[in-house]
Amino acid sequence: MAAYRTYTDAELTALLRTGDQLAYTEIYQRYTGVLQGHAYSKLQDREEAMDVVQELFATLWAKRDSIVFHTTLSGYLYTAVRNKVINVIARQNIASDYIKSLQEFIDKGEALTDHRVREHELTAIIEKEIAALPEKMRTIFEMSRKEGLSHKEIAGKLGLAEKTVKNQVNNSLKILKDKLGPLFIFLFLMN
35 vs 51: CA distance, rounded Å: 11
- Taking residues 96-125, report their average pLDDT: 66
At residue 18, φ and ψ (nearest 5 deg) are: -90, 0
Alpha helices, DSSP H only, in 18-160? Answer: 21-43, 46-62, 73-108, 112-131, 135-145, 151-158
Candidate CATH numbers 1.10.10.10, 3.90.550.10, 1.10.3720.10, 3.30.2350.10; the one for domain 111-191: 1.10.10.10
Secondary-structure class of domain 1-108 per CATH: mainly alpha
Which residues contact residue 190 at a Cβ distance below 8 angstroms, ignoring those fewer than 6 apart? 123, 126
Q: Give the closest residue to 23 by CA, choosing from 35, 6, 37, 39.
A: 6
Show me where the domains of the chain are located. 1-108, 111-191
User: pTM of this prediction?
Assistant: 0.50
**In the predicted model, what is the mean pLDDT of the chain?**
82
Instruction: Write down the pLDDT at residue 7.
Output: 93
